Structure 1
Amino acid sequence: MYIRFVNYLDTLNQYRKSKLSNRNFLIILAVIVGILAGLAAAALKSLTHHIEEFLQSDWHWKYKYYLYFIFPMIGIFLTVLYIKYFIRKSKFETGLTPLLYAISKKSSRVEPHNIYSQIITAAITVGFGGSTGLEAPIVTSGSAIGSNLGRLLGLSYREITMLVACGAAAGIAGAFNSPIAGIVFAIEILLPEFTIPAFIPLLLSAATAAVVARLFYTQQLFFLVTEGWQVNALFYYVILALLIGLFSIYFTKANYAVKGLFYKVKSPYSKVVIGGLMLGVMVFLFPTLYGEGYITIKNLLSGDYLAVINNSIFSDYNNIPALVVLFTLVTIFMKSIATLVTLGAGGNGGTFAPSLIMGGLIGFIFAYAVNLTGIAELNVANFIVAGMAGALGAIMHAPLTGIFLIAEITGGYILMVPLMITTAISYAVNRSSQKHSIYTKALADKGELLSHEDKDTTVLNQMKLKYLVEKNYPQLNMNELISFKMKDILQSHKNICAITDEIGDFKGIIYVEELFNEMINNADKESITASHLVQSAPALIHSDEDLKSVLQKMEQDNVWILPVVDGTNRYMGFVSKTAIFNKYRALLMRQNDYMG
């Protein structure tokens, strides 16, 4: 059955190559990815909201509100159980970092289970009150659709990467009904470089997903009523941007600190209990932390400035403006901790939605506080919207995504100038302290990040050392008579030999020129063994090294070729600059021909 299926795919590929160009074929596939990712986004939102509705409205029990202490822990526990028993053969990872790693180091291969497992686990985590967002899971799900469709059809790395980006763009477009933001997100975050032809598949994929998702959800996420912005308020937008920039630096550092604390807890169930209880207490004290939190921003935008405190145990004090300010300020920091605790404890989700919530609350509290002082009369809704864009742009290092996403989901295009100013400044503040975003820092520290700025590293990261190892060099045993191997050495036309022991451990090298000199000048040449001439290699290359490191070793030792060994020092072959440069040129040529 499998062989027949493979033969059918091969026949289909041969047919389409004779009838369609790569460009047209990718456009068709982009539309298919858009349809599937749009359905995935609708499924995730629907499943999450059904769980939330059941827990909050449909399920009637007089003591059920006491369970809000443990609802988040139940959600995380179910997520951990699902991962343990249903995803046993593959590794399950959350957030966008694994997706960036897949593009950089795994030839854009995203595990197939991500198509559905991200939807199931994110819906359970967020539906039960986990304080994360659904956007990162739907981006991963959409990208998995694109990756596996491309691999199924035998496409190249670049073509699969394009479909991965199409899936990500479609995921954002479907989740927010924002196709432009989806396109910008894919370009800013995922694509190592952007070309105009690549824009067409992204556009069609995002637009298709938005249409499909709209068939299930016609409601706009946020409603913004505004008459525009005032020039004399620009100073306050700058102050807001500086505050958000500083907060984004705190959030980035808190992310690594909380991850580090949970990393020390070895038992996954201990993580669930610790994180779940912490989250339950925080949600009880600050109800805004439950789930995504979009409802709070909706209420604030509609003019209900007491929305943050009204559903809490402190609602009786909502007539004290100073307490409203203080409570909202604490909620902002609690939201950051709640999000990181949810992820650290084993829940699934992302920091996309929390970034919007925290930024919106910062914008609200800033404008509300300024209005209370009487210094100025600011449009609170405008500052909420600007805060969301600024936080998203700064935390994710995606300023264009922040601007266009917020403009689309709020209908606030009239605020484009304040959005641009706030996002640009907050991003610049964060970038001055954090060179990489929370998604890319771990990869950058390991040298595994595709770089827009360093094109050489980007191309080298796409190349695998194991495919460049040459195994046709003469290999001699330490105690082997060289005279017995002379014929093989001559026929190989190589200028270097590898020397190993009986079990294949690498011992050194012999240069053929020196070997010939010894054989000519030594009267006892018939008794010469490899051990008489062996010398240490200038450097050793390990099979798991990246090619940038390999070239650095070659430059440092001024050599053109080096031996390669595995983790146990077993000889594997040689790698040469010639092979690396030839592969490098081939990749550049493929990129130039891409979508031609």
Structure 2
Amino acid sequence: MYIRFVNYLDSLNHYRKSKISNRNFLIILAVIVGVLAGLAAAVLKSLTHHIEEFLQSDWQWKYKYYLYLLFPLIGIMLTVMYVKYFIRKSKFETGLTPLLYAISKKSSRVEPHNIYSQIITAAITVGFGGSTGLEAPIVTSGSAIGSNLGRFLGLSYREITMLVACGAAAGIAGAFNSPIAGIVFAIEILLPEFTIPVFIPLLLSAATAAVVARLFYTQQLFFLVTEGWQMNALVYYVLLAGLIGLFSIYFTKANYVVKGLFYKIKHPYTKVIVGGLLLGALVFLFPTLYGEGYITIKSLLRGDYLAVINNSIFSEYNNIPALVILFTVVTVFMKSVATLATLGAGGNGGTFAPSLIMGGLIGFIFAYVVNLSGIAHLNVSNFIVAGMAASLSSIMHAPLTGIFLIAEITGGYILMVPLMITSAISYAINRSSQKHSIYTKALADKGELLSYEDKDTTVLNQMKLRYLVEKDYVKLNLNDKLSERMSDILQSKRNICAVVDETDDFKGLIYVEELFKEMMNNPHKNELTAHHLVQPAPNTINENEDLKLVLEKMEQDNVWLLPVLDEVNRYKGFVSKTAIFNKYRALLMRQNDYMS
């Protein structure tokens, strides 16, 4: 039955190729991905908000407020249990790093369960108070839709990657009702190489998702009331950008520290308890940390400058400006801790929304302090918006995404110049200290990141060593008599042989030229075994090794080919520069023909 289905699908693909060009077919698929990703975004937002509404308003119990300390713990526990019992055969990962790895090293293969598991776990985590955002899960869900649709139709790596990017763009467009930001995000973060033909599928996918999501949510995320920006405020935007740039460096480093601390906790439920209780305590002291935190930013944009402190146990001190400022500053730093604790403990979400919240609060504090000091009178709302753009730009290393996303979700296109200034400066400050973003550093350290600047590395990362191993070399046992194996050696037309022992453990090489000399001149040639002529290899290659490192080894040892071994030193074959360069050339030709 399966074979018949595959054959039918194959014949359908042949028919499609004869009637529709790749370019037009990808456009059709991009629209389909946009519809599905838009629905996924609507489901995630609706499910999360229903959980929040039930816990905060619908469910009535006189002691329920004592459970607010435990709600985040319950949400993370449910997430971990769902992953353990419902995703057994596949690995479940959060954030955008696994998606980048899939593009770089897994031929853009995103596990199918991510289509729904990201939605379920993110809704539970954030709905119960996890201090993360919904954007990374919906990007992964949308990308999984694109990846699996492309694989189902038997598309090439480049075409599947295109649909992965369409899914990501559609996810952002659907989550924020911001199609332009979705397109820019996909280009900045996911696509290793941008060409004009990919713009049309991205555009249609993002626009379709925004339309579909808008059928369910018509409200704008933030409302900005402003008359524009003033020339005399530009210096303050620059100062704000510098402040957020420095904070983004702190957040990036804190990310690695907190991840390291939770990594040391081996038992998953211990992580849940530690992270959940810590998060519950923080939410109790700083209510702004509950969930995504957008409600606080909305209140600040409306001019309610006491929103951060009003719902806390310190609300009776809201008439003291210094305490309001101090409380908001502490909230910013606690937001970073709460976000990282949620993710480290096993919750699902991303740093997208937390970046916006932290940047918005810093922008508020900066303008509020300047206004109180009497040095100048700044439009607080403008600086909140600029702070969000700067924070997102610097933490994610995506300045264009920060600019267009904030302009779209606030309607603040009139602030484009301040957004550009703050985003560019904060990004430059972070980039001067952190070459890679929090999403890409782990991959870059392992040499698994697609590079915009290094095209050679980008192409090599798309190649897998196991497909380049040549296995038609003669394999000799140490005890084999060479005279008895001469026929095999002559027929192979190779100038080198591999030598192994009885367990297939690699022992070295025999060069055919030296073997012939020995067979001609040695009077005891009939008694010669491989053990007599074997030589150590100049170097060896592990079958999982990165191809860039393989070429470096070949250059270092001045050789054209090297033996490939598995993890336990068993011989697998040889890899040559010729095979690598031929595959490299083929990939470049595929890229040139891409979407033609």
Fold conserved between structures, TM > 0.5: yes
**1:14 Cα deviation (Å)?**
1.1
Q: 1:403 deviation in Å?
A: 0.2
Aligned partner of 1:568 in structure 2 is: 568
Task: Find the residue that maps to 2:562 and give its secondary structure.
Answer: strand
The answer for the alignment partner of 2:588 in structure 1 is 588
- Asked if 1:384 is matched to 2:369, the reply is no
2:432 maps to 432
Residue 474, structure 1, aligned to residue 474, structure 2: yes
Match of 2:72 in 1: 72
User: Which residue of 2 is the match for residue 521 of structure 1?
Assistant: 521
Counterpart residue number, 1:132: 132
- How far apart are 1:63 and its partner, in Å? 1.3
Most deviating of 390-399 and 58-67: 58-67
Q: Counterpart of 1:567 in structure 2: which amino acid?
A: E
Are positions 1:234 and 2:234 aligned together? yes
- AA partner of residue 171 (structure 1): G
Q: Distance in 2 between matches of 1:355 and 1:2?
A: 47
Q: Which residue of 1 aligns with 2:206?
A: 206
SS in 1 for 2:573: strand
1:33 aligns with 2:33: yes
What is the 5 A alignment of 1:232-311? 232-311=232-311
> What is the alpha-carbon distance in structure 1 between the residues aligned to residue 3 and residue 387 of structure 2?
55
Name the structure 1 match of 2:396: 396
What CA deviation, in whole Å up to 9, does each residue of 1:258-309 have, x standing for no partner?
1111111111111111111111110011000000000100010011111101
Q: Deviations over 1:481-508 (max 9, x none)?
A: 1111111111111110111111211110
Q: Structure 1 residue 173: deviation in Å? A: 0.2
Q: Which residue of 1 aligns with 2:14?
A: 14
Q: So what's the TM-score if we normalise by structure 2?
A: 1.00
SS in 2 for 1:90: coil
- Equivalent AA in structure 1 for residue 158 of structure 2: R
1:158 maps onto 2:158 in alignment = yes
Amino acid at match of 1:481: K
- For 1:439 and 1:229, locate their aligned partners in 2 and report how far apart those are by CA, in whole Å: 33
Partner of 1:406: 406
Q: Distance in 2 between matches of 1:186 and 1:341?
A: 27
Percentage identity across paired residues of the two chains: 86
Residue 11 of structure 1 and its aligned partner are, at CA, apart by: 2.0
1:160 offset after TM fit, Å?
0.5
Uncovered stretches (5+) of structure 1, i.e. residues with no partner: none
Q: Which residue of 2 aligns with 1:579?
A: 579
Q: Which amino acid aligns with 1:401?
A: T
Equivalenced residue count is: 596
Instruction: Look up the equivalent residue of 1:205 and give its one-letter code.
Output: S
Corresponding residue number in structure 2 for 1:343: 343
Aligned to 2:46: 46
Q: Amino acid of the residue matched to residue 138 of structure 1? A: I
* Structure 2 counterpart of 1:92: 92
User: Shift of the alpha carbon at 1:121?
Assistant: 0.1
Deviations 1:402-453 (A, max 9, x none): 0000000000000000000000000000001000000000000010100001
Q: Tell me the alpha carbon deviations over residues 61-104 of structure 1, each in whole angstroms, 9 at most, x when there is no partner.
A: 11111110000000000000100000000000000000000001
CA–CA separation in structure 1 for the residues paired with 2:219 and 2:7? 45
1:503-582 equivalences in 2 (<5 Å): 503-582=503-582
Corresponding residue for 2:5? 5
Task: Indicate the RMSD between aligned Cα atoms, in angstroms.
Answer: 0.6
Match of 2:177 in 1: 177
Q: What residue number does 1:448 align with?
A: 448
Amino acid at match of 1:585: R
CA distance in 1 between counterparts of 2:563 and 2:151 reads 33
Q: What is the deviation of 1:524? A: 1.7
Q: Distance in 2 between matches of 1:321 and 1:477?
A: 83
Cα distance between partner residues in 1 of 2:38 and 2:585: 38
Q: For residue 5 of structure 1, report the CA deviation from its aligned partner.
A: 2.5
Q: CA deviation at 1:8?
A: 2.5
What's the offset of the Cα at 1:230?
A: 0.3
Distance 2:502 2:258 in 1: 50
Q: In structure 2, what is the Cα distance between the partners aligned to 1:261 and 1:11?
A: 53
For 1:3 and 1:465, the matched residues in 2 are separated by: 29
- Matched to 2:533, the amino acid is L
Aligned partners of 2:7 and 2:531: how far apart in 1?
A: 52
Letter in 1 for 2:278: M
Structure 1 stretches (4+) deviating beyond 6 angstroms? none
CA distance in 1, matches of 2:409, 2:190: 22
Aligned partner of residue 499 in structure 1, secondary structure: strand
Pairwise CA distance, 1:522: 1.2
| Pair 1:494-2:503 in alignment | no
Q: Partners in 2 of 1:592 and 1:534 — Cα distance?
A: 45
| Shift in Å, 1:4 | 3.2
Please give the alpha-carbon distance, in whole angstroms, between the structure 2 residues aligned to 1:382 and 1:158: 41
The 2-side partners of 1:232 and 1:14 are apart by: 64
Deviation of residue 390 (structure 1)?
A: 0.2
Secondary structure of the corresponding residue to residue 226 of structure 1: coil
List alignment gaps of at least 5 residues for structure 2: none
